[in-house]
Amino acid sequence: MGNFKVEKTKNSRRMMRTKVIAGNWKMNNDINGTIELISGIKSILAGKKIDAKLIVCPPFTSLETAKELLKGSDVGLGAQNMYFEENGAFTGEISAAMLKSVGCEYVILGHSERRTIFGETDELINKKVKKALDSQLKPIFCIGETLEERESGTTFDVIKRQIQAGLSGLSDSDMKAVIIAYEPVWAIGTGKVASPAQAQEVHAFIRSELVKLFGAVSAENTVIQYGGSVKPDNARELLGQPDIDGALVGGACLKAESFVGIAE
């Protein structure tokens, strides 16, 4: 595919992006499982200095328990979804204010499982992103192409559309609170990880699109995570790429050792 280098990428500025490792628990762990996993993460982290921000994103039912357990630790708390309306007759949905009230700082939005299984559109995801920002929640905004799209050579078109639509109406100052997660759908939960070069190529493209939409400074400062079968043994090479600023981890975040191992 193309060669997208962000102009004016200076190492000194790039170094300022803290790596962010977020664990997307998906529909896993009841309260007991939550206590076990967070206690495990805390005990591995005890006395260690890790040069990355860690975030856990348990299911809604575990958020309050997770918040209690994480008191006094640097590990951040996020949810996996929310609805954009303030409140009302939206059976089964959870609002931004509700997430704030249980101590969430982050929310994953537009995950490919939400897009494909639950039919979420770019427009819906954009409303959620805006509502999250209005509510002082930091969106982890997910994008990524399917295998079919990659094979038909439309990866960059898909990514561009998802970014333009999903981040429509945001300002460069809004972008300070946004994390982008590039997750090729074909790499999620399949064990088929994108090669560091494949991932870097799309990350650089994403950053070049951000330059056009929000300017060079904002683009340089935006954290762009990679997601899709990230494990401790492939994390180092992926996270060593110049435009890969962290990981959104599914399967490997369900064990404390592998989640913290990725960050280490």
Q: Which residues bind ligand PGA (CB under 6 A)?
A: 24, 183, 188-189, 227-230, 248-252
Please state, in angstroms and rounded to a whole number, the distance separating the CA atoms of residues 261 and 264. Answer: 5
For residue 4, how far is the Cα from the chain centroid?
Answer: 22
Minimum distance, C-beta of residue 179 to ligand PGA, in the bound complex (Å): 12
Minimum distance, C-beta of residue 188 to ligand PGA, in the bound complex (Å): 4
Please state, in angstroms and rounded to a whole number, the distance separating the CA atoms of residues 172 and 215. Answer: 7
Minimum distance, C-beta of residue 30 to ligand PGA, in the bound complex (Å): 19
Q: Measured from the CB atom, is 24 or 162 closer to ligand PGA?
A: 24
Residues in contact with 127: Cβ distance below 8 Å, sequence separation at least 6, in sequence order: 84
Q: 111 catalytic, yes or no? A: yes
Supply 214's token pair.
């929000």
Minimum distance, C-beta of residue 31 to ligand PGA, in the bound complex (Å): 22
Q: Measured from the CB atom, is 80 or 135 closer to ligand PGA?
A: 80
Of the candidates 111, 113, 145, 201, the residue annotated as catalytic is: 111
Q: Measured from the CB atom, is 8 or 236 closer to ligand PGA?
A: 236
DSSP H or E run through 91 = none
CB-based closest residue to ligand PGA = 250
**Nearest of 165, 94, 176 to residue 124 by alpha carbon:** 165
261, burial (CB in 10 Å: exposed 0-12, middle 13-18, buried 19+) = middle
Of the candidates 145, 149, 183, 209, the residue annotated as catalytic is: 183
Minimum distance, C-beta of residue 81 to ligand PGA, in the bound complex (Å): 12
Q: Measured from the CB atom, is 182 or 214 closer to ligand PGA?
A: 182
Please state, in angstroms and rounded to a whole number, the distance separating the CA atoms of residues 242 and 257. Answer: 26
Q: 203 catalytic, yes or no? A: no
Residue whose pair of structure tokens reads 């949810």 in the numeric block = 79
Strand partners, 106: 78, 138
40, burial (CB in 10 Å: exposed 0-12, middle 13-18, buried 19+) = middle
Q: Measured from the CB atom, is 34 or 229 closer to ligand PGA?
A: 229
Which positions are annotated as active-site residues? Answer: 111, 183
